[in-house]
Amino acid sequence: MNKKQIVVSAAVVVIMGYLYWLPVKGLVKPKDDKNGKPAMAASAGAAKPAANVTVDMVSAPAKAAIGDALAAKINDLEAQLKKASDADAPALQAQLAKHWDDVNQPAPAAFYYQALARKENKVQDWISAGNRFNDAYKLTQDTLFQPAFVNDAAEAFQNALKLQPESLEGKTGLGIAYVNGAAGPMQGIALLLEVVKKDPKNWNANLNLGMFAMKSGQYEKAVSRFKTLLAQKQELEPTFYLAESYKQLGMKKEAIDAYQKCKEMMPDPIFSQRIDGYIKELNN
């Protein structure tokens, strides 16, 4: 598999992955009680216990995904790292993180950025680690890895915010990790809303607020978030989520138009076939 194929494959996984989401406890919009008053929202749950996931555990499936040719340089760097002194290790860890980034494998990249951050305690390394852990959580369905990824993401962004308390990227990442299970959904949403109050066009915060609105059945709010993004830049992920939100609202024409745009953005036969199926359902 070449790098372009890996990027396409990962993009398809990301935008289709939400179909397998379960509603987030504490995030679902509460229904009215028998007296017509809004019911209390579920309280934020405690963080899930996480297994001790290591870089070796996530590197093995990542190498299988990218193939022997692309994994060769990574294997070489890993061998050098095992023999490296404490002084030489950070440079090799940085190279490994970059190589994993280049082949769109956020899980192993996250662990190398985390190792760098724990050694040198730099804001950008913590943020890079947190972003990769959030991305890894988004890409995997492995229930062993998920709690570890989300807890490591939260730790990374908390450390970044200790060093740079007003970092919007840090608050956004922490908000995402909280909603995903590191603390509690409403605490995470509050952080994301704080970000968009200061930066109304913030891409990552709006994208995730839109996705979380979909998960809680608030499709009108989701549409607004995705339109905010697409007014800035036409991208596949918000276009797909916009199409899905329109579909859930019964706005068939708008949904079909958005689905067609997705096909233009992602000329992948498997993805196009799935989109054609959605359009066919709407036309029936």
Query: CATH no. for residue 264?
Result: 1.25.40
**Along the 284 residues of the chain, how does pLDDT read in single tens digits?**
555 554 445 555 555 554 444 344 445 444 444 444 333 333 333 445 567 999 999 999 999 999 999 999 999 999 999 999 999 999 999 999 999 999 999 999 999 999 999 999 999 999 999 999 999 999 888 999 999 999 999 999 999 999 999 999 999 999 999 999 878 889 999 999 999 999 999 999 999 999 999 989 999 999 999 999 999 999 999 999 999 999 999 999 999 999 999 999 988 888 889 899 999 999 98
Residue 255 covered by a domain: yes
Do 219 and 133 lie in one domain? The reply is no
> Do residues 3 and 114 share a domain?
yes
Asked if residue 45 is part of any domain, the answer here is: no
User: How many domains, in total, are found in the chain?
Assistant: 2
Among 138, 154, 170, where does a domain finish?
A: 154
Q: Look at residue 182 in the predicted model and tell me its pLDDT.
A: 76
Judge whether 185 lies within some domain: no
Predicted pLDDT of residue 40: 33
144 and 250 assigned to the same domain: no
Does 183 map to a domain? no
The four Cα atoms 228, 232, 238, 243 give a dihedral, to 10 degrees, of: 70
| pLDDT for the residue numbered 203 | 96
- Rounded to whole angstroms, the Cα distance separating 72 from 91 reads 18
One-letter amino acid of 14: V
H helices within 67-122, ranges in order? 68-83, 89-102, 106-120
CA distance 213 to 28: 9
Position 70 scores a pLDDT of 93
Do residues 10 and 149 share a domain?
A: yes
> Which range of residues forms the domain containing residue 222?
214-284
Are residue 148 and residue 58 in the same domain, yes or no? yes
The number of angstroms, rounded, from the C-alpha of 217 to the middle of its chain's C-alpha atoms is 19
Residue that terminates a domain, selected from 108, 133, 154? 154
Residue 57 lies in a domain: yes
pLDDT of residue 10: 52
**Selection from 272, 262, 266 nearest residue 238 by Cα:** 262
d(CA 185, CA 105): 26
How far apart (Å, rounded) are the C-alpha atoms in residues 117 and 156?
A: 8
Q: Is 7 contained in some domain?
A: yes
Asked if 64 and 57 touch (Cβ cutoff 8 Å), the reply is: no
108 and 5, same domain (yes or no): yes
What is the per-residue pLDDT for 269?
86
Give the per-residue pLDDT at 20: 43
Can you tell me which residue has the tokens 């090799």?
92
According to DSSP, the residues that pair with 32 across neighbouring strands are 38
What's the pLDDT score for residue 105?
95
Residue 267 lies in a domain: yes
pTM of the predicted protein model: 0.84
- In this structure, the answer to whether residues 4 and 128 fall within a common structural domain is yes
* Residue 58, domain member (yes or no): yes
* CA–CA separation, 243 and 258 (whole Å): 5
Q: What pLDDT, on the 0 to 100 scale, is given for residue 7?
A: 46
Residues 10 and 116 in one domain: yes
